[in-house]
Amino acid sequence: MRRRRISSTRRPDPQGDIVAFLSDPLSYGLSHDTDIAHRETHIAHVFLVGPDAYKLKKAVKLPFLDFSTLPLRHAACEAELRLNRRTAPDLYVDLLAVRRGASGDLNLDGDGEVVDWLVHMRRFADDALLDDVARAGEFGLPLARRLADAIAAFHADAEVLPEVDWAAELTRTAGMNAKVIDAFVPSVFPASDVDALNTRLKSMLHVRRAFFSERGRRGAVRHCHGDLHLRNIFLDDGEPRLFDAIEFDDRLARIDVLYDMAFLLMDLWHRDLKQAANCVLSRYLLHTRDFAGLAGLPVYLSLRAGIRAHVSATTARSAPDGYKFEEEARQYLVIARDFLTPRSPVLIGVGGVSGTGKSTIAAALAPDIGATPGAVCLRSDEARKALMGVEPETSLPSDAYAPEVSARVYDALRQHAATSLAAGAAVIVDGVHGDTESRAKLEAVALAAGVPFVGIWLDAPADLLAHRIEERVGDASDADVEVMRAQMRSDLGPINWHRIAAGGSVVDTVAAARAILPPAATD
């Protein structure tokens, strides 16, 4: 038991005593000169003490939460521990009671009356937040893939809530957002911009109401994170961990899994990490195969950006540099409206033998094609691993590449492409496409969907391809140099796709590919 007397003749604010107690190193049995970092948000105090962190919820009542009484704070602490142990069990240690003894001493988990509760957590490195990783310019595609893997696994295990009327919840959320945003017209937001956003959003919610209702009935609505952005994800030995899920209002977390994911995608897009956003979505869909859900993504992205718009506008009222938050709020409002702008879907095939850079070129092209966050990238190497039930970077034996298996892989790619196109998304299918029939079948998908098709075939010298293959590390492709040379010797048939020399830089190859895309694809 650890005790520390905090003298006070009167306590108009009981939490004032508690904050002082938790700011004192002696309260933790440490020497008086031990450094304790105190971080404060609008709803919590956080005390960083050596390898530990202690969170005290503020005794506040706000429009979106109520921590005004001890029982409410206790329940919220219990919920925070339970919900966040789903994704970061080692981070969330336990709950601690702050007690006041008979003599007036405050103590941690000792004797006396409970006066408040703390969430006890392990402390992670100061630069471990993905927010910091992004600011440092270190948010690469390998991290984007690991993050998508983690979120897909979390959503797969999350509690399914088919009883939620998801269409009604979305309408309620949109109405609340509109009401709050209207309060900042014209001081922060131009009335014309707000009217345009509200009109588009109401129209799409009405037109797709049946779709959103069906999402709930089909199990897409689950107990998710609810606040899934880069400041609520940290790196644990290089692996992304989700934390700080919403615990104060279940309605904000009992949502469509793609609405949960939309917050992260919007955050990445707003930070101009567009290729990372596109990669996260494509990799997530590899696991979930929720391609039909893409029809709701524009609404989800817009709502998330709208929420950030009014949060930033509210922050501007009290921040010393409020004008910066006002500008940020206007940026969010602009992208909220832009997410709802219709984009023309297109189907793009990227073919070529192993080592020509198909996946690299597809990933570079994708963010600029179709609706945000760009074209869905369907990669044959990853689809094969998914079909065999293994992780994308797991090597497969040679029998996994038998002709009948490859036929199933390409059938799956075409089915996923057709579903995505029907949902309004653009698609890039990346695979060898080493015969005339395979290429023709992909073109037929576009014809059936009534969208343009662009076929891109990449060529490069065999020696360069061999060098590229030998340099691969942690890639989904199992092809070695021998496989590549066998592909080059095979009968590829007449290739009527646009042929591009891919022996130079990625920048040059991408520029050549962009030049043959229809203008509507990148509008």
Task: Out of 311, 338, 365, pick the residue that ends a domain.
Answer: 338
Chain segment 264-282, per-residue pLDDT in tens: 999 999 999 999 999 999 9
Query: Alpha helix locations (H) across 187-254?
Result: 191-207, 209-217
Chain segment 363-392, per-residue pLDDT in tens: 999 999 999 999 999 999 999 999 999 999
> How far, CA to CA in Å, does 147 sit from each of 48, 281, 300?
26, 10, 19
Chain segment 15-49, per-residue pLDDT in tens: 999 999 999 999 999 998 899 999 988 899 999 99
Q: Nearest 5 degrees, angle CA 332-CA 124-CA 22? A: 95
pLDDT at 14: 67
End-to-end CA distance of the chain: 65
444-458 mean pLDDT: 98
Four-point Cα dihedral 180, 185, 187, 189, nearest 10: 90
Which residue, 62, 69, 128, is CA-closest to 311?
Answer: 62
Which residue, 204, 214, 229, is CA-closest to 299?
Answer: 204
Shared-domain flag, residues 401 and 507: yes
Query: Alpha helix locations (H) across 97-190?
Result: 130-135, 141-157, 166-182
Which CATH number is 357's domain given?
A: 3.40.50.300
| Calpha distance 305→295 (Å, rounded) | 17
69's tokens: 């009484």
- Going by pLDDT thresholds of 50, 70 and 90, the confidence category of residue 316 is confident
| Calpha distance 261→247 (Å, rounded) | 18
Shared-domain flag, residues 6 and 38: yes
Q: Interhelix angle for 462-471 vs 481-489, to 10°?
A: 150
Going by their DSSP bridges, the two strands 498-501 and 453-459 should be labelled as: parallel
- Going by pLDDT thresholds of 50, 70 and 90, the confidence category of residue 315 is confident
Which CATH number is 192's domain given?
A: 3.90.1200.10
Let me know: does 385 contact 394? Beta carbons within 8 Å.
yes
pLDDT at 13: 62
Q: Interhelix angle for 322-338 vs 257-270, to 10°?
A: 120
- Going by pLDDT thresholds of 50, 70 and 90, the confidence category of residue 238 is very high
Four-point Cα dihedral 66, 69, 72, 78, nearest 10: 120
pLDDT at 5: 44
| Calpha distance 485→276 (Å, rounded) | 32
Shared-domain flag, residues 370 and 495: yes
Chain segment 278-296, per-residue pLDDT in tens: 999 999 999 999 999 999 9
Task: Out of 338, 368, 392, pick the residue that ends a domain.
Answer: 338
- Going by pLDDT thresholds of 50, 70 and 90, the confidence category of residue 317 is confident
Residue environment code for 133-148, b if the CB has 16+ CB neighbours within 10 A, otherwise e? bbeeeebeeebbbbbb
DSSP codes, 65-117: EE--SHHHHHHHHHHHHHHHTTT-TTTEEEEEEEEE-TTS-EEESSSSEEEEE
Check whether 481 has a pLDDT greater than 60.
Answer: yes
Let me know: does 498 contact 517? Beta carbons within 8 Å.
no
Shared-domain flag, residues 328 and 361: no
Shared-domain flag, residues 206 and 351: no
- Going by pLDDT thresholds of 50, 70 and 90, the confidence category of residue 11 is very low
439-457 mean pLDDT: 98
Shared-domain flag, residues 320 and 468: no
305-309 mean pLDDT: 95
163-169 mean pLDDT: 96
DSSP codes, 397-453: -GGGGSHHHHHHHHHHHHHHHHHHHHTT--EEEES---SHHHHHHHHHHHHHHT--E
pLDDT at 518: 86
pLDDT at 318: 81
Number of domains in the chain: 3
Shared-domain flag, residues 306 and 360: no
185's tokens: 């017209």
Q: Based on C-alpha coordinates, what's the Rg of the chain?
A: 26
pLDDT at 276: 98
pLDDT at 287: 97
pLDDT at 63: 78
| Calpha distance 321→495 (Å, rounded) | 59
pLDDT at 8: 42
Shared-domain flag, residues 160 and 303: yes
pLDDT at 403: 94
pLDDT at 523: 66
Shared-domain flag, residues 364 and 450: yes
Chain segment 347-358, per-residue pLDDT in tens: 999 999 999 999
Least reliable range by pLDDT among 2-16, 76-90, 371-385? 2-16
Four-point Cα dihedral 340, 343, 346, 350, nearest 10: -80
Across all residues in the chain, what is the average pLDDT? 94
How deeply is 192 buried, as exposed, middle or buried, from its count of CB atoms within 10 A (0-12, 13-18, 19+)?
exposed
State the DSSP H helix or E strand holding residue 470, giving kind and residue range, or none if neither: helix 462-471
Shared-domain flag, residues 388 and 474: yes
pLDDT at 320: 85
Residues of the chain with pLDDT > 70, as a percent, come to 97
Shared-domain flag, residues 117 and 170: no
CA 278 and chain centroid, separation:
10
Task: Out of 338, 371, 405, pick the residue that ends a domain.
Answer: 338
Check whether 501 has a pLDDT greater than 50.
Answer: yes
Q: What's the sign of the alpha-carbon dihedral 147, 152, 155, 157?
A: negative
Shared-domain flag, residues 357 and 466: yes
| Calpha distance 141→135 (Å, rounded) | 15
- Going by pLDDT thresholds of 50, 70 and 90, the confidence category of residue 314 is confident
- Going by pLDDT thresholds of 50, 70 and 90, the confidence category of residue 12 is low
Domain that holds residue 202: 130-338
